[in-house]
Structure 1
């Protein structure tokens, strides 16, 4: 009876292979898709993937596989994506070169084989968003002419940047013959594992299929054994191996191998002993090399392995040949190194080492990389060195290495990895006698460096904790600018996480800068104060603050800041009732952004202009500005960041114009990205508004619920809170729930409307009055006693609230006239003349749906 390590017969996965074939068929037809294959270690995920890839290639697909590396917190950013894209480069050559032409430098963060990674600053949201969008464009372009199958193995080891990029691609792929396949170890995903929320997010996307691989049945184990042993196995042997393996395909292979040595009966029941049998059968020299390889990571290059093992040439080749022939190690796909045939074997070998032995091996790896850095590819050096020194328990060597790896992660937009590495650096800081002398930085420097990546990773609790620690350490007397910078950062964190407005913190920052020479920091603090006051409660003092900020920016000579502050001035002045003056500021901001070639600033200016024009009832102009902003965002790869605001504003204008279908279409795009909570909440509110207009109560209810979940934070801006209440009131009115309407609107009316927010306040008052009018006209509704008094009080509150609202444009005037008619209806005193007046007012606007509704009265 002859044996092979792996069954030549593919056993027991035909249903799963069929579902993969279905996904490939959809991709061939132009519908991108994703298949996620989960299962315990050893169950057969890799074999299934390889069988499918072989079939896909036979049908003409171009395939590429990237494997995730087990490097812990130091995970190499985008490693599997880089590997897959390198494979596509090899396969497609000139076609891929054409797809990336002119963008090689931008894409080098994930495709370092195209161009050297630039050394400039890579700390911004928008740069990272641009990178993701460029990757999307490249894949879609490559998928126009042929089917691509891009697979990622071992996603449970994926670095944060890879998870974020994949999530973006899965949400955003809309065209092209593309199929993404991923595998992961389900038994490695506990409730704290970062892959769990990733999988949950992808489960909500209709193009994603999940395959959960179970264990083999007894009959399938028999088929597998037949293939491995080359003959029909005895039934008793099948039964024994099925019982011991419990249907795990990899364990079946290991047990089948032991049959050759007559060991099955006396085999230890422990998993580790089972996995170590092949290793223990190797010659001593091969066993030593295997143990060294187990510590090196999920893959180890040949030069590095040789250096650490202390052997080379024919001696190393002989040891490796033995390990490969016994199916303990296998060459990596690129042929430059080795990996264990299965991660379980590597884990067993590594865990079998004595603690001191394991730590000494980590030291040897680290020392080898310090002696000869090019033992590994340049993009792996810092992350591997950090991992080896850290696991060696050598804090003095580990701290500088971890900081270097964090800087490499930052330079590649891998903010998740940077954050975790800086957390590790903070841990090591306490273990080093003189960390400042060792690293050349202070603890304050380290805390400040950790804040931004923590925010990008949405770890607001930690970012706020870092900012608090940093503020405790900073010397306000000696370095007031730095203290002001920290207060500004903290203000942004509080507002971004919807915990507070951050204005108090900004005022503390500004107080520290008063009396110092003009600086761009001072201009930005003042500009942010003016902006936040504009969003919360604009006043003439806010305008003065913005003008002061502008004067400093002009004196310093910062066009980008000038344009940003002018945009804020425009919003402020319009909200305070001077639209003509405000729009002039916007024109100045546009001119400066254009002269300075600042596309991100131009995108922001146009997006804000779109919102302002919408509030003035100039819906067609608003849509035009929104389209222009979105065009720039798409051209510059900014849709995921700035462009998502543009999409929401454009959709709002389209709804006003009655272009419901186009609004629906464009709103779908928002959900393809991962926008900020307020942007997502805006999108859900627009979906609900459209659904209510169409009479789809179920869809409106679902969308309002989604928006409500986002709007339950401690702090929410009035521009988001008031429209949400309007929709809730509209839904309650449609359902005939007058008591709920009064309950919803009461706290808003008690608090009063901030200045400059009439564009949101008028619709809420009109909708509330409509609910009161509906109740009045409802047959059988109580008309006397307590209810009459309650209605009288409710209408009085509405009128009182309306008295303080400005009427700065025809849209405001139409709402005001409409409100008077609805209030009269609620009191049973509506007249034809009132409704004719309302119709005439709405005819001066371009909102056909509202006009039709008023005419129906």
Structure 2
């Protein structure tokens, strides 16, 4: 996806730091008002102090301030007193020239200690001076310079400041009382140890009232993603974002350096430049400290004091001193009785800097130490650490049984990703030992089968398919039919989950292998999977028949987990054909059975399907309860990124429906960061499309739609995702004024049909399509004959599809009423009675946003009949919902109608400022733009010049905050700015 990235990797995008910039803004505003201030910014090296300062200084300049920067020197600081102050004053002298000379008049000789250019050759740098007088003169100089304009003085790297600079700054910080002055200082927090002189200096400043401190933290994962987008100039894979965030731990400089190592969308390591920078500080430490640091790098993410004692062979006093040195240098950090590196990349650099032979020897030393003294680490870590040490020590005979034992321990802890990595290592070691089967007590096929399950339950979907293919090559379907069928079934599941194909040929192959054989658990499971896939593909009554056969076979072989799977599918199949009560009864039995199951994901799957069924029936609150319970179970069992991700997707959908939007975006972003797989990713991105459109963010909706498309490309898409994707395509195209494209997408979606049980996805699509056609009718000035025919064709298609859809619940009934009302509006026969019926139907649902829209439409028709009092009530109800949900699009409609009908304002906390302030002439021009006229045609219609028409169009685009004529037309239609 991503090619080679240039080594110049500074992000052109300033990421995050909104809180810090706000604090800077407050300090600058106070300085503008005449109250001097000081802001000190601390943070570790590379966290972004300089970038933050640069961004602030640029904004300060834009607001009229004069800025200057001086930097402290790393070497020879004490021999160059006032170096950063002098540098800052030299810049001021160049920028302010006569003003600075006038402010320093009569004091040049004394001030020459700070700015020699004021009195060249008159001061010897080793001469004596009156320190207090110099400080007072500097104070007066700044106060005079800050009389008529705001002055921002920045001093970088205060941790290298000489004592004279610290004394002068301390004097200024305490005594600055007047003038438009802001002093900013930065320092590296990780360089300020207990004995560092800046430490006591900062402690004293905490008592000074006008000094503000900013502790600059590392970037969040989302901010690292934004930084990478800026560097790469394209959307990086979420897996890559997660990987770089984990390695950089949010350090902005490390992110930039790691970006240099991206090749074809993969992180290849760390650059030589970064490695050298990370090792500089370590190379300055004592030999003992360096040895302990190298041992800690081999020991693991954390390494205990007792283990270090065992492997270092240093006497206790020397070890303590070495550790103290490493901690003081901010290389290691104590955490209880253990130590870890302050930054993971430092550990990587240290480990990679070891000679190959040294690295192997040290790993073996750790392994031998744990075999001698197993109590040096916790019992839960022992097998994993021994396996890791022997593997990296290159001792295959020792490593293979250790790795397999560690894999079993990982399974017991539900650590499926860890188990997958360990089994991968076992497969690598297999060829390196003389008799692996005797040594391990297993066959190669057995390890592949274990790896298939581990990879599926974890997050390595591609690996699961790879393991399946290799195992299929090894298995004999005649000798071991159940194992062969298992592998074909797992391959089918993997292909479907990755949207590669339906997996049906692979499932049929599994069934063929077992046909004619005695009943078995694998046979029952294959039948259950066939029934489930038919349910997902909407094959109607066949689903119920297949599920019953699978249920019978599962009971015959006494398998609760397969029984729960079959009952879950049976429940869905019954609901899909309208037998709701029977379906709910089977779902309850499926849940009871899953509780008795031995499979970790059995109950998670049942609860996820329950959430989906409840959502489809409009019982959104029940859906959220089931989804949250599934998420909790998934987290307990290490399934959050796999089975649990489906529950997260269902929860997001129900939160959107129920109007719980406050945490929806956060939930979706956190889930997407888990890299949950193409199906869930597509599902979640579509929820964000709806949320963005409701809040008037068309560009955001377009971006999420693009990501939804990219999630699985144009490969196999289940109907439960295909129909919502088509709906999103239609909505975004309409919002951008691309009505023809919206209609094309609608025709294609209707031609694809609606499988049984999928009306929950088709009803919203029909309602939105009918509303778009109604909006198009009210916004077009003089429709052509071809347009009239197209409208009728679309109306007929919508009506035909609606006639085929089942109405199984109040939500279906509400949608049917809405489609009928919107279709009447599109036909020009808008009717208050129809909208009243629709409003009544929606008020029986749990969807506040749709209900509010219907109330708004009802108010429109009530106003047309002269029933202003009832219309006002409806608008007030809709306005309350729009304000609570922050639904900008609905708010705009309510405000416009309230203003026009003079029955408001009704939207709480809102005013007409949400509406574009267009002049009457601009309204005329916009009406013609919405009708598809060119500038020349607009000029002819309104008897103005083409240039004047162009100016009007440009002004309209700016006021509507859109980028093109099509989007302007869409906004005009949506806000009814061109009605009549």
From the superposition, tell whether residues 49 and 480 of structure 1 become closer, same or farther in structure 2 (CA, over 3 Å). farther
Do the aligned residues in 2 keep the contact of 1:454 with 1:462 (CA within 8 Å)?
Answer: yes
Pairs within 5 Å for 1:393-472: 393-455=394-456, 458-472=459-473
- Note the alpha carbon deviations across 1:664-702, whole angstroms, 9 max, x for none: 345644544445554454444344434544555455445
Pairs within 5 Å for 1:42-121: 48=189
CA distance in 2, matches of 1:526, 1:195: 38
Aligned counterpart, 1:159: none
- Note the alpha carbon deviations across 1:184-230, whole angstroms, 9 max, x for none: xxxxxxx9998853455999xxxx9756599xxxxxxxxxxxxxxxx
CA distance in 2, matches of 1:690, 1:350: 46
From the superposition, tell whether residues 806 and 48 of structure 1 become closer, same or farther in structure 2 (CA, over 3 Å). same
From the superposition, tell whether residues 853 and 733 of structure 1 become closer, same or farther in structure 2 (CA, over 3 Å). farther
1:851 and 2:854 matched: yes
CA distance in 1, matches of 2:237, 2:653: 39
Q: Which TM-score applies when normalising by structure 2?
A: 0.53
Aligned counterpart, 1:475: 476
Aligned counterpart, 1:744: 745
Aligned counterpart, 1:664: 662
CA distance in 2, matches of 1:473, 1:553: 28
Do the aligned residues in 2 keep the contact of 1:538 with 1:576 (CA within 8 Å)?
Answer: no
Aligned counterpart, 2:774: 773
Do the aligned residues in 1 keep the contact of 2:498 with 2:712 (CA within 8 Å)?
Answer: no
CA distance in 2, matches of 1:351, 1:685: 46
- Note the alpha carbon deviations across 1:720-753, whole angstroms, 9 max, x for none: 2212322332333344321111232233223222
From the superposition, tell whether residues 609 and 385 of structure 1 become closer, same or farther in structure 2 (CA, over 3 Å). closer
- Note the alpha carbon deviations across 1:35-78, whole angstroms, 9 max, x for none: 997579x999x9945969999xx9xxxxxxxxxxxxxxxxxxxx
1:729 and 2:730 matched: yes
CA distance in 2, matches of 1:565, 1:54: 69
- Note the alpha carbon deviations across 1:106-138, whole angstroms, 9 max, x for none: xxxxxxxxxxxxxxxxxxxxxxxxxxxxxxxxx
1:805 and 2:808 matched: no
From the superposition, tell whether residues 381 and 747 of structure 1 become closer, same or farther in structure 2 (CA, over 3 Å). same
- Note the alpha carbon deviations across 1:483-524, whole angstroms, 9 max, x for none: 111122112212222222223322222232333333333332
Shift of 1:565: 2.5
| 1:566 match: secondary structure | helix
Shift of 1:663: 4.1
From the superposition, tell whether residues 202 and 575 of structure 1 become closer, same or farther in structure 2 (CA, over 3 Å). farther
Shift of 1:19: 7.9
Do the aligned residues in 1 keep the contact of 2:561 with 2:598 (CA within 8 Å)?
Answer: no
Pairs within 5 Å for 1:165-180: none
From the superposition, tell whether residues 553 and 777 of structure 1 become closer, same or farther in structure 2 (CA, over 3 Å). same
Shift of 1:719: 1.5
Aligned counterpart, 2:568: 567
Pairs within 5 Å for 1:678-827: 678-693=679-694, 695=696, 697=698, 700-710=701-711, 712=713, 714-780=715-781, 782-785=783-786, 787-809=787-809, 811-816=811-816, 818-820=818-820, 822-823=822-823, 825-826=825-826
Q: Which TM-score applies when normalising by structure 1?
A: 0.60
Aligned counterpart, 1:608: 609
Do the aligned residues in 2 keep the contact of 1:490 with 1:505 (CA within 8 Å)?
Answer: yes
CA distance in 2, matches of 1:349, 1:542: 56
Higher RCO (CA 8 Å, separation ≥ 6 residues): 1
1:197 and 2:200 matched: no
Aligned residue among 598, 620, 623 for 2:621: 623
Pairs within 5 Å for 1:210-609: 210=251, 212=253, 251=280, 279=287, 333=334, 359=360, 366-367=367-368, 369-370=370-371, 373-374=374-375, 378-455=379-456, 458-590=459-591, 592=593, 605=606, 607-609=608-610
CA distance in 2, matches of 1:780, 1:652: 38
From the superposition, tell whether residues 293 and 585 of structure 1 become closer, same or farther in structure 2 (CA, over 3 Å). closer
Do the aligned residues in 2 keep the contact of 1:593 with 1:599 (CA within 8 Å)?
Answer: no
| 2:745 match: secondary structure | helix
Do the aligned residues in 1 keep the contact of 2:634 with 2:644 (CA within 8 Å)?
Answer: no
| 1:664 match: secondary structure | coil
Bigger shift: residues 344-353 or 569-578 = 344-353
Shift of 1:812: 3.6
CA distance in 2, matches of 1:609, 1:192: 31
Shift of 1:448: 1.9
| RMSD of Structure 2 on Structure 1 (CA) | 5.6
Bigger shift: residues 813-822 or 741-750 = 813-822
Shift of 1:536: 1.4
CA distance in 1, matches of 2:307, 2:839: 80
From the superposition, tell whether residues 636 and 443 of structure 1 become closer, same or farther in structure 2 (CA, over 3 Å). closer
Bigger shift: residues 461-470 or 740-749 = 740-749
CA distance in 1, matches of 2:294, 2:634: 49
| 2:476 match: secondary structure | coil
- Note the alpha carbon deviations across 1:424-464, whole angstroms, 9 max, x for none: 32222223333222222122122222223434553333221
CA distance in 2, matches of 1:723, 1:366: 54
Do the aligned residues in 2 keep the contact of 1:294 with 1:350 (CA within 8 Å)?
Answer: no
Specify every segment of 5 or more residues in structure 1 that has no aligned partner in the other structure, as ranges.
1-15, 23-34, 59-148, 156-165, 172-190, 215-244, 258-277
Aligned counterpart, 1:63: none
CA distance in 1, matches of 2:536, 2:413: 34
Do the aligned residues in 2 keep the contact of 1:670 with 1:680 (CA within 8 Å)?
Answer: no
CA distance in 1, matches of 2:572, 2:531: 10
Shift of 1:548: 1.1
From the superposition, tell whether residues 535 and 781 of structure 1 become closer, same or farther in structure 2 (CA, over 3 Å). farther
